[in-house]
Structure 1
C-alpha cells in the first residue's frame, strides 16, 4: 500500500509539469511549479529507495506501471481531458499485468519457501 501511495505522489509530478508548460518560461509560476516537481521527486526518490530495500526489484518495477493509470485520472480530474476507450483498454491491460505479476510472484515465493523447507529437512 505504501508503494502505491508513493506512486500516486510520483504521478503528481506530471500535473505540475503540464501546468508549467502552460506558463511563461522562468516566470514566478513556472519556477513554483518546477519547485513542486523537484520536491515531489525528492520525496519519491527517498521513498523509492526504501521500497527497494523492502521488496523484490521486479515487484517494485512492475507496480510502477500503475502510474499510467494515474496519469489518465489526473488528466480527467485536473485538466478535463476525455477518457477514451483506448485509454481504458490500456489502463486495464496495465492493471491486469500488475495483478497477474503479483499473483505469479506470490506463487514463486511460496514455491521457493516450500523448496527451502524441503532442503532443511534433508
Structure 2
C-alpha cells in the first residue's frame, strides 16, 4: 500500500516539475517577442536598449531556472519538451504581430505537441514495466 502512495506522490511531483517546465518555456518564448520588438527600433535608442535588456533578463531567468529543472528531470525529456516553444511562437506572432496563422502551421504545431506528449509519456510506461 505504501508503494502505491509513493508512486502517487512521485507522479504529483513529476506533474509539478512538468508544469514548471512548461511555464519556464512560456517565459523563454517571451524573449522572441522582445527581440522582434527591439529589431523594429532604431539601434541604441532608448526603446531598443530597453527591449533588448528585457530580452536578456528573460534569457537570464530562463538559464537559471532551466538548470533547476534539469536537476529534477532527465535532460532528454526536458529538451524534447522545449519544442512547445514553436506553439508559443505561433500564438505570440498572432497576438502581438498580427501574423497569419495557416492550416499548415496548426498541423505542424499539433505534430510537435503530439511528439512531445508521446515522448514524455513513453518513459512512464517503461518505468512501470521495470518495477
TM-score, normalising length from structure 1?
0.90
5+ unaligned residues in a row in structure 1: which ranges? Answer: 115-122
1:78-113 per-residue CA deviation (whole Å, 9 max, x = no partner) reads: 11111101100110000000011012121122233x
In 2, the alpha carbon distance for the partners of 1:79 and 1:64 equals 22
In 1, the alpha carbon distance for the partners of 2:64 and 2:89 equals 22
1:4-38 per-residue CA deviation (whole Å, 9 max, x = no partner) reads: 00000000000001101111111110000110011
Name the counterpart of 2:119.
Answer: 101
2:36 aligned with 1:29: no
How many residues are matched? 113
The Cα of 1:58 is off from its aligned counterpart by 1.0
In 1, the alpha carbon distance for the partners of 2:62 and 2:44 equals 24
| Aligned pair partner of 1:47 in 65, 71, 74 | 65
Name the counterpart of 1:85.
Answer: 103
Name the counterpart of 1:118.
Answer: none
Pairwise CA RMSD: 0.8
In 2, the alpha carbon distance for the partners of 1:79 and 1:59 equals 31
Correspondence 1:11-30 to 2 at 5 A: 11-30=29-48
| Aligned pair partner of 1:76 in 76, 94, 105 | 94
1:32-61 per-residue CA deviation (whole Å, 9 max, x = no partner) reads: 011001110110001000000001111100
5+ unaligned residues in a row in structure 2: which ranges? Answer: 1-18
